[in-house]
Amino acid sequence: MSQRSQAVSTVQLDNEQVIVTEWRFAPGTETGHHHHRYDYVVVPMTDGTLLMQTAEGEKHSQLVAGQAYFRKAGIEHNVINASDHEVVFVETEIK
């Protein structure tokens, strides 16, 4: 079991079409292992490095502020801030 602190998520909007959540990660914090039920778009608000822990192993992902990316539903992972500064992104799940 992880000894890391949790990243802070704030749901900004949840309606029939989307769920929009702001994620704030202090250095070393994590989401905890989770499964994405919906397709989603992430818009990084800061640059940073995330460590993704998946069933296939670990992978580092570089975030660039303002450079959005899309992922399909079904992803299972734990996301950890591997940067030495706060990382912030906005995630929009498409229902």
Residue 81 lies in a domain: yes
Q: Which residues of 13-41 are buried (b: 16+ CB within 10 A; e: fewer)?
A: eeeeebbbbebbbeeebbbeeeeeeeebe
Left if phi > 0, otherwise alpha if psi is -120 to 50, otherwise beta: which for 65?
beta
pLDDT for 1: 53
**DSSP assignment letter at 1:** -
Residue 2 lies in a domain: no
Whether 26 shows a pLDDT value over 90: the answer reads: yes
Per the structure, the count of domains in the chain is: 1
Question: How does pLDDT run across 34-73, given as a tens digit for each residue?
Answer: 999 999 999 999 999 999 999 999 999 999 999 999 999 9
Task: State the residue range of the domain holding 12.
Answer: 8-94
